[in-house]
Amino acid sequence: MDFTLTKEQQDIIKAAREFALGEFPDVAQEFDRNESFDLNIWKKACELGFVGVFIDEKYDGAGYGFFEHCLINEEFWAVDPGIGQAILSTTFGSELVGLFGSEEQKQLVLPQLVSGQAIMGTAITEPDAGCDVTGAATTAVKEGDEWVINGSKMFATNGDLAKYVLVFCLTDTENPSRHARHSFILIPTDTKGYESTKIRGKLGIRASDTAELSFNNVHVPVENLVGTEGEGFHELMAFFNRTRLHICAQAVGLARAALEESVRHTKQRRQFGATLASFQVTQFKIAEMATHIRAAKNLYYEAAWSVDQGKIDHGLIAMAKWFSGEMAVRCADEALQMHGGYGYIDEYKVQRLYRDAKILELYEGTKEMEKTIVSRAVLGL
């Protein structure tokens, strides 16, 4: 396997970094403090072609792989995780539409996401169904030529901003298999009975919108079923095998930022008549961070490369996801530690990185769930 990036991939990285450095630093603290975001930055990112690069050219995307989307994620998160998430999560669900949607659904949704005319969300988690997605109890009942949806969802990214939300619904309560009861339904958020309530007070990625959703007799045409009825669980796993790669890239980006801040600070800060960087304890921390980042990067490069070759290795993706999330949390912790008391104050970027990092061990599969997948693959269970 050759990990050398093509000229095009190197150009993508350079352009993404330049864009992020030009747009994010001046507003990052304000967005974090106020839990706000300026959608004009997202629009600009769309205009410059950073959003939905994995979407097929037929639907106005760049037709690149998920790997290129990962590269952009990594660069955006290396500058500011919250803003990176606010911009690049706007296509969350398009992967599933691309894999399983009808031609009409693709034509309707995908070009709007690329061009900055629409934001998307995907709602799976419920108050009583988190890691156990098969416990999702939001119902979709077929009445004539419509689905009628009732229930609620938790923690939906972009729930307040989205034009379309892909909702994981219980469509067959009778099926004996818990893996054959659910289906995805596309809901335009201006449909009567759809309500979203912004969740405030998040620990990190505070520029990114998160909402609680409720569906009260929401009617949509039967054609809004995405994929195959009853196949929702398996479609969700296929979806996660793509989107989890993005989280790995986010983790590597965040950890890189933690390392950059640590190098800068420890070379400047002097104690006991010498820079912090001159102490071996500091040097070892830096060495460990750099090594762990490289290892996580190689893991996700291999996993993303495999997916783009059409080879899905569920265990490898899960390995990359938990390893990179845990690695980012550890790097952010060490970075704060090396900043001493200053790192505890929100004027310093490492405080934000420390708070932003935790989500990487939670969303799109907690690290415990990822380790469960890895152990099952290894033990052949």
Ligand X SMILES: Cc1cc2nc3c(=O)[nH]c(=O)nc-3n(C[C@H](O)[C@H](O)[C@H](O)COP(=O)(O)OP(=O)(O)OC[C@H]3O[C@@H](n4cnc5c(N)ncnc54)[C@H](O)[C@@H]3O)c2cc1C
What residues are annotated to the active site? 364
How far is Cα 141 from Cα 125, in angstroms, rounded to an integer?
19
CA-wise closest residue to 207 among 169, 157, 254: 157
Q: Is 363 one of the binding residues for ligand X (CB under 6 A)?
A: yes
Query: What would the x/- binding string for ligand X be over residues 86 to 115, using CB under 6 A?
Result: ------------------------------
**# chain residues binding ligand X, by CB under 6 A:** 19
Q: Which is nearer to ligand X, 90 or 282 (CB)?
A: 90
Task: Determine the number of helices (DSSP H) and then strands (DSSP E) in the chain.
Answer: 12, 10
Q: Which is nearer to ligand X, 235 or 364 (CB)?
A: 364
Q: Which residue has the tokens 């460990």?
A: 288
Instruction: State the nearest-atom distance from the C-beta of 247 to ligand X, in Å.
Output: 10
Q: Is 303 one of the binding residues for ligand X (CB under 6 A)?
A: no
Instruction: State the nearest-atom distance from the C-beta of 359 to ligand X, in Å.
Output: 5
Query: What would the x/- binding string for ligand X be over residues 141 to 180, using CB under 6 A?
Result: --------------xxx-----------------------
CA-wise closest residue to 377 among 290, 326, 308, 303: 303
Q: Which of residues 117-136 bind ligand X (CB under 6 A)?
A: 121-125, 130-131
Which two structure tokens, joined as six digits, stand for 19? 């864009």
Q: Is 210 one of the binding residues for ligand X (CB under 6 A)?
A: yes
> Which element (helix H / strand E) includes 306?
helix 280-308
Q: Is 275 one of the binding residues for ligand X (CB under 6 A)?
A: no
| Binding segment (CB under 6 A) for ligand X, from list 40-48, 172-180, 305-313, 357-365 | 357-365
How far is Cα 371 from Cα 375, in angstroms, rounded to an integer?
6
Q: Is 362 one of the binding residues for ligand X (CB under 6 A)?
A: yes
Among 287, 368, 376, 378, binds ligand X (CB under 6 A): 368
Instruction: State the nearest-atom distance from the C-beta of 76 to ligand X, in Å.
Output: 16
How far is Cα 201 from Cα 34, in angstroms, rounded to an integer?
10
146-157 and 210-221 beta bridge pairing: antiparallel
320: which residues sit within 8 A by CB, 6+ positions away?
244, 245, 248, 296, 299, 300, 302, 303
Q: Which residues bind ligand X (CB under 6 A)?
A: 121-125, 130-131, 155-157, 202, 210, 359, 362-364, 366, 368-369
